[in-house]
Structure 1
């Protein structure tokens, strides 16, 4: 039985890669790290004796063998996964808030299994302090916050966001590597910044953590969405510090490059925040999120 479950796990990963056209997307939907998904795919390809996808900078393209396999197993995998899921049905509405970028890339995919079990979600996207205020006043049941709340709320560390300093290849070529090794802040000083807000919260945290000083760089773009910041960086407007989960696909595609390699990457803890005694549905959400393997964000 264990072998059959393992085979189902490999096929479930294959189906997610096939449907999403990306190992990164499959990792998000499966709640696994990218290396774990790549390893499962390699094992399945070894068992079948032929490749299932052609890798490229844009993702993966299925081979004819993959098309055939997806037609044969796709719907069966869905039915088997549902049949083997021992989780009981749930009911109720949970009002949950979080940053738009995290909820889009990781939060909503992580909540999907609970939707299948019957929970209805009302999702609010916004800034951490505004969401925490909504939690205090009873407008929200759960907040996923990069800001640790004050008294009156219960915060549990959920996972850590890792920040990477990235820029487009053309700007990366202008960095003096010899100077970067001895005085990185000065070596990067000429590069324009693309930032989330004019206070440069993430960038200032990166500079303070890694270089011990504030950035002196000119700010070229300010846009209150990290996905838009990444788009500006890819287009060549500037450089920025971004969470790994947002920057990694662009790094894999070669659209951006690492500008600095810290010995210990800067981390920011994401907290799961509640108030009072959660409803049964909210408690199920809390337990589900805490049990999830988030990998490296």
Structure 2
């Protein structure tokens, strides 16, 4: 009879796409994982993965085996878990997302699960890079600010984030409110911008949706972290468009003010992205449902 540990190691290799990543998720060394795989392949009588410099690629036999045994192996591991542990929270999950949202909302929301045994490995970055990593099975779950279009990736709406145009009070004092109402682009054109990237991705979208054109403003500072953008705005270097959940503490403190109040709040939908449509990994399914539940309380997004 095949040892349960051998099947568990096989599933982690299959999901992670590499022996080293599987070893990390299992909490053992890579040689130990290699040895378990070798014993399983010897029992089955054929290779289950093709090795390369970039990791391992499952054979057709491996794909069929993973689909057949996945839910059963997880169930057996849960049945053998000590009664004082919550088996639904066991395992390691690789999650990707933007640094700001992961820091402010996602990781704190997962704290109750980590306290009960869940292990998390976090990759921070831009949505497109992380979705490509998901497609390549280098991460298990991505919190994405763009709707995924990659083949084989399923996306579930998580929450809507609201964007606000903010600036320091000293710069806000120089805006003509009459002209802002009639010619907003010209009324704001003298204000320097603080942006996340040279292409002004968030700012351009706000200008197009609210003012009907591109911002002609000079760009004072470009820094690829929205928390740093807020700090630069607070310091008086310029104005910017930020998610409300980041700007709200500074708005309450009066260190920044709203420069424009649209009739309808500009929103962007955040998505939970996973590989494939049916989740066979109970840890992944648990984390996904937990985040969907917790996101209902994120009213300040």
TM-score (norm 1): 0.70
CA deviations over 1:179-230 (Å, ceiling 9, x no partner): 1111111111110000000010100010011001011101000000000100
Partner of 2:216: 216
Partner of 1:290: 292
Q: How does 1:251-262 map to 2 (within 5 A)?
A: 251-262=251-262
Secondary structure of the corresponding residue to residue 299 of structure 2: coil
Partner of 1:233: 233
Contact kept, 8 Å, 2:88 with 2:282, in 1: the verdict is no
CA deviations over 1:62-84 (Å, ceiling 9, x no partner): xxxxxxxxxxxxxxxxxxxxxxx
CA separation of 1:286 and 1:278: change in aligned 2, threshold 3 A: farther
Please report how far the alpha carbon of residue 88 of structure 1 lies from its aligned counterpart in structure 2 after TM superposition.
6.3
Give the Cα–Cα distance (whole angstroms) in 1 for the partners of residues 109 and 249 of structure 2. Answer: 19
Partner of 2:6: none
Partner of 2:115: 116
Partner of 1:146: 145
Give the Cα–Cα distance (whole angstroms) in 2 for the partners of residues 294 and 259 of structure 1. Answer: 24
Output the aligned Cα RMSD: 1.4
Give the Cα–Cα distance (whole angstroms) in 1 for the partners of residues 116 and 264 of structure 2. Answer: 40
Contact kept, 8 Å, 1:157 with 1:272, in 2: the verdict is yes
Please report how far the alpha carbon of residue 107 of structure 1 lies from its aligned counterpart in structure 2 after TM superposition.
1.1
Query: Across the two proteins, how many residue pairs are aligned to each other?
Result: 212
Partner of 2:5: none
CA separation of 1:140 and 1:126: change in aligned 2, threshold 3 A: same
Contact kept, 8 Å, 1:168 with 1:234, in 2: the verdict is yes
TM superposition outliers: structure 1 runs of 4+ over 4 Å: none
Contact kept, 8 Å, 2:88 with 2:283, in 1: the verdict is no
Secondary structure of the corresponding residue to residue 250 of structure 1: helix
Please report how far the alpha carbon of residue 291 of structure 1 lies from its aligned counterpart in structure 2 after TM superposition.
1.2
TM-score (norm 2): 0.69
Q: How does 1:81-120 map to 2 (within 5 A)?
A: 90-120=89-119
Q: How does 1:268-279 map to 2 (within 5 A)?
A: 268-276=268-276, 277-279=279-281
Q: How does 1:111-260 map to 2 (within 5 A)?
A: 111-150=110-149, 151-260=151-260
